[in-house]
Amino acid sequence: MILASDALAEIAMKSGYDVKKSDSLGMSQRGGSVVSHLRIGERVFSPLVKKGSADFLLAFERLEGARWADYLSPGGVAIVNDHAMPPPSTIGAKGRSNYPSSEEVHSIICEYTDEVYFVPGTGIAKDLGNPQILNVLLVGFLSLFLDIEEKSYIDDLSHRVPPKFLELNLIAFARGREEAQRIRRAQDR
Amino acid sequence: MMRRLLSGNEAIALGAYHAGVTVATAYPGTPSTEILENLARMPDIYVEWSTNEKVALEVAMGASYGGVRALAAMKHVGLNVAADPFFAASVTGIRGGLVVVSCDDPGMHSSQNEQDNRHFALFAKVPMLEPSDSQEAYSLMEWAFRISEEFDTPLLFRSTTRISHCKTVVEVEQNPLVERRPPGFIRDPRKFVMVPSNARPRHPLMEERIRKLSSYVETFPFNQIVLGDRSLGIISAGAAYQYAREVFGHASFLKLVTAYPLPENLIRHFAAQVKRVVVVEELDPFIEDHLRAMGIEVIGKDLVPITGELDPEILQERAIQIGLLPQPQKPSSPPKIGRDLPLRPPLLCPGCPHTAVSFALRTLRFYRIPIQEGVPSQEPASGQQVRHRAIATSDIGCYTLAVYPPLEALDTCACMGASIGQAHGLEKAGIMDKIVSIIGDSTFLHGGITGLIDIVYNRGRGTVIILDNNTTAMTGHQGHPGTGISARGEKVRKVILEDLVRGIGVRDVNVVSAFDLNLIEDTIKRCVETDEPSVIIVRGPCPLQDRERGRPLMVDIEKCNKCLKCLRIGCSAISKVGDEIKVDTFACIGDRCSVCLQVCKEQAITVGE
């Protein structure tokens, strides 16, 4: 996820914007929630996004999509990878799970914005041969919504990714972007 | 010049390198770790992971005495460990510039406390600089070394988590001419040997230094006044400054980069131009108290909480509450999420070598030490012997996560190396329970050796468990003196833990595999019954570092009786999916671990092909 937000940040910077990015690192990584705040603008002061002001929420996992939903602004776009990684805490004493369903997550997010997209990202990434290219796939999806030309992403990936993985990453990026076009068209109907 | 997106730590490292630092030392500690990691990738300088922060600063001090620019980096509590040489360096002064970087952690994202290290500058009488973004973190480095040299003092460079770990745009010199000072030691015992007769004349020099610095900071170029609406004048520094700019947009601002001493004339000049003065600072009222002492009326902790990390939301809500900002038309913050979502606390990774021993401590039961003549009974009057868990004093590292459910195996964790001394203290206080201390390999070398010596020398019966995963894991798998890998990744001589503890005088030394639950249990049971001090080295690789996988494990649902004991080891690779226990074969490391297999009484977990 950090790689994805690094890439987006640098792409935005190269497009002439001021950028500030805040990652949670350290103990939060041991199976905990990992979050990145990214702010792009003419001049950015705080590196932290305020609740209710996020233009985009990019969630790599279903529960996390719900957890951070209150950061979305009313016109914001939520993009959620529809994959479940239940934390062990969801197993109660009787073994009953309180991990939310896709429908529950959808309804939670809809309290904050209307524009919600569920992406079968993990499935597509596995089909493409490597579940770890999920990050580039989701960046590809998001890229459709941003005012930055496609070439900038491809240039960045070419510098960021080791050469032997570049082709797969470019395919993943393109696939993510296609998926965004497809889902958007379907939801517009 | 080139535009790059750098974290504060990357910027500090690059800035120090461009400023001609020659020696850089550190002990890993979030949020400071990346400073040395970055410097270790730069050529022609000496960098090291030191055994602990005290040694790190002493090495940097020595390098500075040797005429070169030196830097020691640490987290906030690291400066507690390095405090002795820090104060000493303030007394002796330096030769080559000496910069001590302290990365504080307001909000305790990864720490045992959130102390405000700005007090150290005041306490030790040294200057302090505080950047408010990565650009300043980079540009201030040259100034930091220059101030250190000009005023013959170490300098405290203060960062926080949001500065160290946030990436912001930095204009970086593309191919700077890096000049390093030539080494040379000029003898001067009156300066360097701090017997009382030499130390006494140096104290007035320290006071004179602070006086001179107080004038110097008045015209320091990075302190900045931005005049806007004069009804509100905000004085701020560091990350808090950025939040203040965000929330109070049109007010007037004074950004203080010289965090100590404070530029009093500049502050008075600013205060005179605004109606109300507000100080926005995280944690302690360091700036606020100083302003009050100057006689300036100021709002500070009435606005900003003294505990926890500050963020723009808290600042905005509090500002509205106390009337500094108008009530918004509609509520400024959205409604809270309607449902209670499951938490995602940090856990031990699947295949972690700390799992089995933590589970053993959780489940083993002992009788208390038998009642001695004349000592009041610790057992219930009924005469029935009750068995208790051992008290487990613990320490700082990944294994501290065993305090959380389901393991809940630990009883203390205070500071680096404390587990051993604490266990000894509990014993000498007269506690009759079995007591074991648990400490990691890196932590043991950092601060546990002296505790173990204490137990042997002072006739304790302590059982010390050293968890040896051959790395400093929590901070990102850095090397340490026991791993035989240096900061630059070179193979070097390593400390052999079993030889070290024998050298200290421990005779009962055991080395067991971290994945052999029975052997771990038997060894603990035997060691806690002896009156001799004992050491159990529990050895096993960290699965994040050693990524080899064994043969996969599977659950035989016919044999499984759903006792859920396998879930109590706290491994995220085995869980209840619907009605069945399942192993996540992508996450599980297979029979290189197999702790779940070992706890299953029904033998329902087996090794596949």
The DSSP secondary-structure symbol of B82 reads T
Do B66 and B160 reside in the same domain of the chain?
Answer: yes
- Residue B24's domain is classified under what CATH number? 3.40.50.970
| Structure tokens belonging to residue B281 | 């600072």
Query: Binning pLDDT at 50, 70 and 90, where does residue B294 land?
Result: very high
Out of A18, A67, A95, the one facing B341 most closely (by C-beta) is A67
Beta carbons of B346 and A27 less than 8 Å apart: yes
Q: Is B79 inside any structural domain? A: yes
Q: Is B339 inside any structural domain? A: no
Window from A85-99, B48-62, B556-570 with minimum mean pLDDT: A85-99
Looking at residue B148, what is its pLDDT? 98
Do B559 and B480 reside in the same domain of the chain?
Answer: no
Do B204 and B67 reside in the same domain of the chain?
Answer: yes
Do B21 and B136 reside in the same domain of the chain?
Answer: yes
Do B283 and B213 reside in the same domain of the chain?
Answer: no
Looking at residue A2, what is its pLDDT? 81
Beta carbons of B337 and A69 less than 8 Å apart: yes
The DSSP secondary-structure symbol of B403 reads G
- The mean per-residue pLDDT over the stretch B220-249 comes to 97
Distance of CA B49 to the CA centre of its chain: 14
Do B236 and B186 reside in the same domain of the chain?
Answer: no
The DSSP secondary-structure symbol of B269 reads H
> Is B579 a residue whose pLDDT tops 90?
no
Tell me the average pLDDT of chain B. 94
Beta carbons of B339 and A108 less than 8 Å apart: yes
Task: Find chain A residues with C-beta within 8 A of B333's C-beta.
Answer: 50-52
Q: Is B333 inside any structural domain? A: no
The DSSP secondary-structure symbol of B446 reads I
pLDDT one-digit tens code per residue, A26-49 = 455 566 778 899 999 999 999 999
Query: Binning pLDDT at 50, 70 and 90, where does residue A86 land?
Result: confident
Between A94 and B72, name the one with better pLDDT: B72
| Structure tokens belonging to residue B519 | 């052997």
Looking at residue B373, what is its pLDDT? 55
Beta carbons of A47 and B405 less than 8 Å apart: no
The interface pTM score, or ipTM, of the predicted complex is 0.90
The DSSP secondary-structure symbol of B96 reads S
Order across the sheet with B463-468: list the strands.
B412-413, B391-394, B435-440, B463-468, B534-539, B508-513
Q: Is B146 exposed, middle or buried (0-12, 13-18, 19+ CB in 10 A)?
A: middle
Beta carbons of B242 and A45 less than 8 Å apart: yes
Between A24 and B443, name the one with better pLDDT: B443
**B224 to chain A, closest Cα gap in Å:** 15
Do B432 and B519 reside in the same domain of the chain?
Answer: yes
> Is B130 a residue whose pLDDT tops 80?
yes
Looking at residue B421, what is its pLDDT? 98
pLDDT one-digit tens code per residue, B531-563 = 999 999 999 999 999 989 999 999 999 999 999
Looking at residue B384, what is its pLDDT? 61
Do B123 and B233 reside in the same domain of the chain?
Answer: no
Looking at residue A26, what is its pLDDT? 47
Q: For chain A, what percent of residues have pLDDT higher than 70?
A: 90
Do B503 and B580 reside in the same domain of the chain?
Answer: no
Residue A130 CB coordination number (10 Å): 13
- The mean per-residue pLDDT over the stretch A152-168 comes to 92
- Residue B270's domain is classified under what CATH number? 3.40.50.920
pLDDT one-digit tens code per residue, B161-219 = 999 999 999 999 999 999 999 999 999 999 999 999 999 999 999 999 999 999 999 99
pLDDT one-digit tens code per residue, B363-393 = 999 887 765 555 555 555 555 667 899 999 9
Do B467 and B498 reside in the same domain of the chain?
Answer: yes
Range of the domain at B205: 2-219
| Structure tokens belonging to residue B260 | 């100590």
B244 phi and psi angles, rounded to 5 deg: -65, -40
Do B203 and B228 reside in the same domain of the chain?
Answer: no
Contacts of residue A58, Cβ cutoff 8 Å, sequence gap at least 6: A4, A79, A138, A142
Looking at residue A94, what is its pLDDT? 47
Count of domains observed in chain B? 4
Do B313 and B422 reside in the same domain of the chain?
Answer: no
User: What is the C-alpha to C-alpha distance for residues B156 and B137, in angstroms, rounded to an integer?
Assistant: 13
- Closest residue in B to A87 (Cα) is B344
> Is A95 a residue whose pLDDT tops 50?
no
Outline where DSSP puts E strands in A10-53. 18-23, 36-41
Between A13 and B405, name the one with better pLDDT: A13
Out of A26, A50, A87, the one facing B109 most closely (by C-beta) is A26
Beta carbons of A28 and B110 less than 8 Å apart: yes
Q: Is A94 helix (H, G, I), strand (E, B) or coil?
A: coil
> Is A92 a residue whose pLDDT tops 80?
no
Using only C-alpha atoms, chain B has a radius of gyration, in whole angstroms, of 28
Task: Find chain A residues with C-beta within 8 A of B107's C-beta.
Answer: none
Q: C-alpha angle B415/B419/B420, rounded to 5°?
A: 130
Window from A128-142, B414-428, B508-522 with minimum mean pLDDT: A128-142
The terminus-to-terminus CA distance of chain B in angstroms comes to: 58
Looking at residue B338, what is its pLDDT? 74
User: What is the C-alpha to C-alpha distance for residues B72 and B495, in angstroms, rounded to an integer?
Assistant: 23
Looking at residue A93, what is its pLDDT? 47
DSSP string, B37-73: HHHTTSTTSEEEE-SSHHHHHHHHHHHHHTTSEEEEE
Window from A118-127, B52-61, B330-339, B387-396 with minimum mean pLDDT: B330-339
Domain boundaries, chain A: 50-119
DSSP string, B505-541: T--EEEEEETT-HHHHHHHHHHHHHSSS-EEEEEE--
